[in-house]
Each structure stands twice: as C-alpha cells, then as structure tokens.
C-alpha cells in the first residue's frame, strides 16, 4: 500500500539534509521513523494496559510503601557493594 503524506516545507528541508548526510533515501528515513513510532505506540499501549491490570489487581504501592521499598533496595545495593 503506497500512501502520500504532506509535510511542511521546513520538515522536508530537514529530511533532505539528513538524507544528504547519510547513505539513505528520504523514503527510507521516513519508513524507519514510522516503523519506530508504531513500535513505540504499541509498546506504550501494552505498558499502560499492564499498569491498569496491576492497579485493578491491587498490585500497586502507595506513596509510603514506595519510599520504603526504594530505601530497602538502596540499602541492599550498598550492602552488596
């Protein structure tokens, strides 16, 4: 599936400059950028879903418990060093 997108002139100039300084075409740079962004959005949505599931299951720390766990981890690291 081929699609056409419209980019602002300033973005096109930046893209051309990056492409000229690399061994890649503007199309390859755009393709990589889109793939990486989609992968990030998929990862982020999965992380949000996991966090919501943890909240629903009661697997979250309150503020006081968080600081207590952090202090405990710091102490264990110092002890191990």
Q: Mean of the per-residue pLDDT values for the chain? A: 95
Q: Read off the pLDDT band of 2 (50, 70, 90).
A: confident
pLDDT at 61 over 90: no
Q: What is the mean pLDDT of residues 9-22?
A: 97
User: What long-range pairs does 74-78 form, CB within 8 A, spacing at least 24?
Assistant: none
Identify the H or E element spanning 40.
helix 26-56
pLDDT at 80 over 90: no
Q: Give me the pLDDT at residue 39, please.
A: 98
Nearest in space to 16 (alpha carbons), one of 2, 28, 4, 5: 28
Q: What is the mean pLDDT of residues 42-71?
A: 95
Spatial neighbors of 22 by CB under 8 A, at least 6 apart, are: 29
């Amino acid at each position: 599936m081929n699609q056409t997108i419209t980019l602002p002139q300033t973005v096109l100039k930046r893209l051309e400059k990056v492409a000229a300084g690399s061994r890649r075409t503007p199309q390859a740079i755009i393709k990589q950028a889109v793939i990486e962004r989609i992968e990030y959005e998929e990862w982020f949505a999965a992380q949000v879903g996991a966090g919501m599931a943890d909240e629903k299951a009661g697997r979250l720390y309150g503020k006081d418990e968080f600081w207590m766990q952090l202090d405990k981890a710091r102490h264990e690291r110092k002890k191990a060093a």
